[in-house]
């Protein structure tokens, strides 16, 4: 992997924000297909926005407890899509919703914020979801992500065989520290940001996007 850390910008709703993220150097762009989210886009809108992406920039479709038929119908309209399951999906449900291997997927792990909670079993979670392309680590907040909260990175155990994606409360100011904390623990590390580069929910700040990507590139 070297020193490069891939970047995903998530929760995009506007064409100009997609273009800004691509221009800044993001390697993946996330679209939220979860209606209660303030960053929600319809399947048609996700397809329209994803059509703006150039080669080698991956569209990621985020679902929360969505019926497999709906997942597959949405994915069919977004060529090259990577799926992200961010709810309570079991390994079997992820496998079915991915078309039994037709689409690669990420599985989100919701890390408790309560300091008295039992340590999160990252190794066990990774083994349960061994068909996932990577495990995305997010803070356990109401509403399934996008809450701008970080979890205590120091409490995660090593998972040397796992591909991880660090998410949850990342900003241009703290992403370097998050990379330094997690990169030694895993096989590969990527980072995912949403609220940390926003002017308001669902509206991205282009300067903060550039600052975030530059902060990652400097690690």
Q: What is the pLDDT of residues 164-219, one digit of tens each?
A: 999 999 999 999 999 999 999 999 999 999 999 999 999 999 999 999 999 999 99
Does 96 fall in a domain? yes
- pLDDT above 90 for 42: yes
Partnered with residue 194 across adjacent β-strands are none
CATH of the domain at 173: 3.20.20.70
Yes or no: say if 116 and 143 are a contact pair by the CB < 8 Å rule: no
Residue 34: band (very low, low, confident or very high) from pLDDT cuts 50, 70, 90: very high
Does 150 fall in a domain? yes
Yes or no: say if 74 and 68 are a contact pair by the CB < 8 Å rule: no
DSSP string, 71-95: HHHHHHTSTT-EEEE-SS--HHHHH
Q: Please give the pLDDT value at position 2.
A: 40
- C-alpha 161: how far from chain center: 19
Domain extent, residue 32, equals 7-217
- pLDDT above 70 for 3: no
pLDDT in tens, 91-147: 999 999 999 999 999 999 999 888 778 888 999 999 999 999 999 999 877 666 656
Q: Please give the pLDDT value at position 1.
A: 36
Q: Please give the pLDDT value at position 109.
A: 95
User: Is 205 among the residues known to form the active site?
Assistant: no
Q: Please give the pLDDT value at position 146.
A: 59
Residue 148: band (very low, low, confident or very high) from pLDDT cuts 50, 70, 90: confident
Does 45 fall in a domain? yes
Nearest partner of 32 among 42, 22, 23, judged by Cα: 42
Instruction: Please give the structure tokens belonging to residue 125.
Output: 């979670």
Does 195 fall in a domain? yes
Q: Please give the pLDDT value at position 115.
A: 77
Does 1 fall in a domain? no
Q: Please give the pLDDT value at position 140.
A: 77
Q: Please give the pLDDT value at position 145.
A: 60
Does 2 fall in a domain? no
Tokens 């990527």 sit on residue = 190
Q: Is 9 helix (H, G, I), strand (E, B) or coil?
A: strand
Mean pLDDT of 16-36: 97
User: Is 186 among the residues known to form the active site?
Assistant: no
How many structural domains is the chain composed of? 1
Catalytic residue among 94, 121, 130, 138, which?
138
Does 194 fall in a domain? yes
Mean pLDDT of 40-61: 98
Q: Please give the pLDDT value at position 119.
A: 84
Q: Is 185 helix (H, G, I), strand (E, B) or coil?
A: helix
pLDDT in tens, 72-85: 999 999 999 999 99
């Amino acid at each position: 992997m070297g020193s490069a850390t891939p970047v995903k910008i998530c929760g995009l709703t506007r064409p100009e924000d997609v273009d800004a993220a691509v221009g800044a150097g993001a390697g993946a762009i996330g679209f939220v297909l979860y209606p209660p989210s303030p960053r929600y886009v319809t399947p048609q809108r996700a397809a329209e926005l994803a059509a703006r992406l150039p080669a080698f920039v991956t569209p990621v479709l985020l679902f929360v407890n969505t019926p497999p038929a709906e997942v597959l119908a949405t994915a069919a309209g977004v060529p090259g899509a990577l799926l992200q399951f961010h709810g309570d999906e079991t390994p079997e449900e992820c496998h079915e919703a991915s078309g039994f291997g037709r689409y690669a997927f990420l599985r989100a792990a919701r890390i408790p914020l309560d300091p008295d909670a039992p340590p999160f079993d990252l190794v066990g979670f990774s083994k349960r979801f061994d068909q996932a392309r990577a495990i995305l680590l997010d803070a356990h907040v109401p509403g399934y992500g996008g809450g701008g909260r970080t979890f205590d990175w120091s409490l995660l155990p090593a998972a040397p065989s796992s591909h991880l994606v660090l998410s949850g409360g990342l900003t241009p100011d703290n992403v370097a520290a998050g990379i330094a904390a997690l990169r030694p623990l895993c096989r590969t590390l990527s980072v995912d940001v949403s609220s940390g580069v926003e002017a308001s929910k669902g509206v991205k700040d282009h300067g903060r996007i550039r600052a975030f990507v530059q902060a990652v590139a400097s690690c």
